[in-house]
Amino acid sequence: MQAKNQLHTDNKDALQFFTDEIGYTVLGGINSNHLDRMRVTLKIEVLNRKYPAFMNDEELAGIAVRTNVDLYQDIQVEKLVRRTAHKLEIGTTQLYSGLAQLTEQLEKHRLTEIEKQNNHSTQAKPLTEEQREAALAFLKSDTLNTDTLKLISTSGIVGEENNALIMYYVFTSRKIPRPLHIVSFGSSGTGKSHLQEKVAELIPDEDKIEITSLTQNAFYYFGTEELGHKLILIEDLDGTLSALYPIRELQSKQRISKTLSIKDSKGNTKTIHLKVQGPVSVAGCTTQEQLYEDNANRSFLIYLDESKEQDEKVMQYQRLLSAGKINFTEENKAKLLLQNVQRLLKPVRVINPFAEYLQLPCEVFKPRRTNAHYLAFIEAVTFYHQYQRAEHVDEDTGEVYIESTLNDIEIANQLMKEILLRKSDELNKATRSYFEQLKAWLKKEEKTSFTLSEARQALNVTHGSQKRYMSLLVQEYYIKKTKTKESYVYQISSYEDYKHIKQSVENALDKTLQQVKEQAAKKNGKQAATVQSSSTVQVMNELPKAAAIKVNRAKNGQFR
């Protein structure tokens, strides 16, 4: 016999509540997302009739009222009571009393469930002493950066070493005050979502939120502190077009808010203010680079390796997987160790004493935002190496902090060369790849001009893709277009533009690092010339800037 005046939650899809005479069943449970309403699917039936009815027992057997009702709406409840009382031949007083008790019990149950969900989502997995010692030893390793890259490869990520390590540092930045964001670009089928998913497996479940589809207002209904220092993974940005604005606001302002009007239980309209705090780290994938320019400006941009060599690596992994020769035990060990490493990272302030000496290459577009990303990436590298950095205490505030080292800057520079190169190139990745293949083909064939049909057949590209690439290349004067009697003929304006941009970016970073080393040497009372690093390329004389290259290729009045 079920206890009376008590909500029974054994079956979450059929919550039950009993009074002396009436039984209430809430079918399908209750929605925990909207606290301003209590819409339920309700079944009401008489269990123990105390007073005689006009109909006999056979006629009343099996009769029940089933309806959808918002228990917070007085008008709906009043109509339900009248209709139920008439149909079941029962007094309205018992119904009003029972529904009031049921509503109170459902409120308590909903709040309890929400609290359980919040505790479950934020509670970190406790580590055993053995797991803690292993993770701590890993974090204290002098070769932490290299060891991390090895574990990332062991975890089942094939190729994409540079992109995977960048993504791992970006995901780690969720714990610092200014988290970084990342967007992965690539053609369909190149493994954008797969790479993001595999790197995300190295992050503890309690620190990430995975999203496949997202509505415009979804972010506003998270708890005020629910997103704080979380990693938000969006599988496909194309499925979140309506939510791009709140995502941008979370990235820039680290908080979002929304004011809306609702009706209370008495039908009166009132205004509520929804506020969600960050900071968050956002990661997403897309094939459409231009569509997400505003979001991309706030993010690191990585492009998937679409080379034949990478194709062969992936296919070989697939063959080994099919042959049962993949060691999943080792993969899972690597994932678990890196997850535990992330759990041991504690909040600590990072100060970069060399920040004022760091300069970006002058070719970089949107230098203000890129400079902030560059400095934040160095902070993320330092934060990850926190167990190798001495702790200092601010004498004025008593706050504990660690400082970036030359090694942190060197790691960041090495990883960011490709990203800064992309931010210094007028061409998007796809167009640049086509252009470089086109130049290589012309050199190999010893041709000075070409037609579209010749290039399309030689490079195996579709007509639509080639049309987009050529339109941009001609517009930006990378290619000269000439009309002949028969058709249009095209010529390359400059074969060296990309090489010079790349060398200029690399030299600028190396030169900046050398200047930082000189400053560090002076601080330590040493001669700057004695400070060297085996992994740093010798600083070369500055090469012509990209602007000068553009002049060279824009002969005959083509340069705008």
CA distance 19 to 100: 11
CATH number of the domain that residue 483 is part of? 1.10.10.10
Domain termination site, one of 104, 122, 140: 122
Whether the pTM exceeds 0.75: the reply is no
CA distance 109 to 102: 10
Same domain (yes/no): 67, 189: no
Residue span of the structural domain in which 72 resides = 14-122
Structure tokens that stand for 257 in this block: 């808010």
Asked if residue 59 has pLDDT above 80, the reply is no
Higher-confidence residue: 32 or 503? 503
Structure tokens that stand for 318 in this block: 């697939």
How confident is the prediction for the chain on average, in pLDDT? 81
Structure tokens that stand for 254 in this block: 């680290």
CA distance 264 to 413: 56
Asked if residue 555 has pLDDT above 80, the reply is no
Domain termination site, one of 474, 493, 512: 493
**E-assigned strands of 332-427?**
349-351, 392-393, 400-403
pLDDT, tens digit (0-9, with 9 covering 90-100), for 129-173: 999 999 999 999 999 999 999 999 998 888 888 889 999 999 999
Residues linked to residue 348 through DSSP beta bridges, in sequence order: none
CA distance 504 to 545: 7
Per-residue pLDDT, 401: 92
In a domain, 404, yes or no: no
In a domain, 452, yes or no: yes
CA distance 186 to 302: 9
In a domain, 84, yes or no: yes
Per-residue pLDDT, 119: 56
Instruction: Report the length, in residues, of the chain.
Output: 560
Neighbours of 190 (CB within 10 A): 21
CA distance 296 to 157: 24
Q: Which is nearest to 378 in space by CA: 355, 400, 347? A: 355
Give helix then strand counts, H and E, for the chain. 18, 16
Using the CB atoms, write b or e for 448-483: b if 16+ within 10 Å: eebeeebbbebbebeeeebeebbebbbebbbbbeee
Report how many domains make up the chain: 3
For residue 558, what are the contacts with CB-CB under 8 A and spacing of at least 6?
477, 480, 493
Same domain (yes/no): 234, 315: yes
Same domain (yes/no): 106, 193: no
- 41 SS3 class: strand
Same domain (yes/no): 48, 103: yes
Peptide bond into 126 cis (omega under 30): no
Per-residue pLDDT, 62: 56
